[in-house]
Structure 1
Amino acid sequence: MPADADPEPAPAPAPAKRRRPATRKGRPTLTRELIAEAALEIAGDEGFPAVTMRRLAEELGVTVRALYRYVDERQEVVDLAAALFLSRWEVPPLDPGRWREGLRTYLEHQRALYRRHPRALLVSLDERVSPAGVHPNRLRNPEALLGLLRGAGLGARDALYVHSDLATRMFAFTLLVDHPADRGTAGDADATGALPDGWAAAHPGLDLPRLTEAAGLPAPTPDELFEELARSVLADITARLERASEPG
Structure 2
Amino acid sequence: MADNKETSTAPPAKRGRGRPRKDSEFASLSKELLGQKALEIAGSEGYGALTMHRLASEFGVTPRALYNYVADREEVINLAMQQFLAISPNVEFDCAHWKDSVRDAYSATRSAYRAFPRASQLSMDEKIHVMPGPRRTELMERVLKFYVEIGLTLKQAVGMVRALERDVLGFVLHVDYFYDRRVPGAPDFFSHPVPKEWLDFYPEVPAPYAQQALGLPEQTSDELFDEVIELRILAVERLLQINGEN
Report % sequence identity: 34
What SS does the aligned partner of 1:238 have?
helix
Name the aligned partner's letter for residue 156 of structure 1. L
Name the aligned partner's letter for residue 232 of structure 1. L
User: Which residue does the alignment assign to 2:104?
Assistant: 105
CA RMSD across the alignment: 2.6
Of 148, 154, 157, the match for 1:156? 154
Q: Is the 8 A contact 1:52 1:74 kept in 2?
A: yes
Q: TM-score, normalised by structure 1?
A: 0.80
Q: TM-score, normalised by structure 2?
A: 0.81
User: Which residue does the alignment assign to 2:17?
Assistant: none
Alpha-carbon distance in structure 1 between the residues aligned to 2:206 and 2:59 = 53
Q: Is the 8 A contact 1:87 1:135 kept in 2?
A: no
Instruction: Identify unmatched segments of 5+ residues in structure 1.
Output: 1-18
Name the aligned partner's letter for residue 236 of structure 2. I
Alpha-carbon distance in structure 2 between the residues aligned to 1:195 and 1:28 = 54
User: Which residue does the alignment assign to 2:5?
Assistant: none
- How much does 1:184 deviate? 1.7
Q: Is the 8 A contact 2:36 2:80 kept in 1?
A: yes
User: Which residue does the alignment assign to 2:225?
Assistant: 226
Name the aligned partner's letter for residue 153 of structure 2. G
Alpha-carbon distance in structure 2 between the residues aligned to 1:160 and 1:91 = 18
Alpha-carbon distance in structure 2 between the residues aligned to 1:31 and 1:86 = 19
User: Which residue does the alignment assign to 2:67?
Assistant: 68
Q: What are the within-5 Å matches in structure 2 for residues 127-206 of structure 1?
A: 127-128=126-127, 130-132=129-131, 134-184=132-182, 191-196=190-195, 198-200=197-199, 203=202, 205-206=204-205
Q: Is the 8 A contact 2:110 2:169 kept in 1?
A: no
Aligned length: 226
Alpha-carbon distance in structure 2 between the residues aligned to 1:57 and 1:216 = 52
- How much does 1:38 deviate? 1.2
State the structure with more CA Rg.
1
Deviations 1:132-170 (A, max 9, x none): 3x1322111111111111000111111111111221111
What SS does the aligned partner of 1:121 have?
coil
